[in-house]
Chain A
Amino acid sequence: GAGVSQSPSNKVTEKGKDVELRCDPISGHTALYWYRQSLGQGLEFLIYFQGNSAPDKSGLPSDRFSAERTGGSVSTLTIQRTQQEDSAVYLCASSEDRGQDTQYFGPGTRLTVL
């Protein structure tokens, strides 16, 4: 079946604007994760969903970042009042159930804040 998809693939925005990033997980996967990867850096955990609930939001860098998931499927990561340091690749992953399950990654959204 289809893998994890993300849109847009690239987003260029001006400082101070809001952006929305979308993730469509693999069908039937209950767990969904958002990560951020800055140039040359490792993956930084942002938030984890189990179904529509987010048991762990500890990785969100500030209150400008929020995420939701509806219908146990699609998730949206919103960044308000973007800053230049928000520039990174935002990766979404899904797994069948929880953290011990293999996570499958989407292609990512490259965000550039000018």
Chain B
Amino acid sequence: GQNIDQPTEMTATEGAIVQINCTYQTSGFNGLFWYQQHAGEAPTFLSYNVLDGLEEKGRFSSFLSRSKGYSYLLLKELQMKDSASYLCAVGTYKYIFGTGTRLKVLA
């Protein structure tokens, strides 16, 4: 079967670091994607991992372990505007999305 799990909700403080985990079981794998979605808006692309390891992009980093079926998104120096849902998706010939993690950043 195909299954992607993420925590439903997380809360963190402005300026802090937060790690959003994603575990997956899929019948194919061509890469793992993270998207950010603000309420009422379309998802926007954040990062892509196809090989094991850490990809860093400014305040955002994403990690992948294919053998463990595990990824995380790390957000540093949190800002209020980072309050959004974060969607993990596994790419096969299509995307399989998790239900998303709603992050609240508090002042």
Chain B contacts of A105 at CB under 8 A? 35, 42-44
Number of interface residues of A (CB under 8 A): 21
CA A109 to CA B32, docked complex, whole Å: 26
- Quote the shortest CB–CB distance from B71 to chain A (angstroms): 15
Chain B contacts of A91 at CB under 8 A? 42-43
CA A107 to CA B11, docked complex, whole Å: 27
Chain B contacts of A71 at CB under 8 A? none
Interface residues of B in 56-107 (CB under 8 A from A): 87, 89, 91-100
Complex interface bits, A27-42 against B, C-beta within 8 A gives 1, otherwise 0: 0000001010000011
B41, B42, B50, B91: most-surrounded residue (chain A CB, <10 A)? B42
From B30, B42, B43, B100, contact of A99 by CB (8 A): B30
Q: Known: A48-B93, A56-B93. Contact between A103 and B100, CB under 8 A?
A: no
Using a CB–CB distance below 8 Å, which chain B residues touch chain A? 30-31, 33, 35, 41-45, 48, 50, 87, 89, 91-100
Using a CB–CB distance below 8 Å, which chain A residues touch chain B? 33, 35, 41-43, 45, 48, 55-56, 91, 98-108
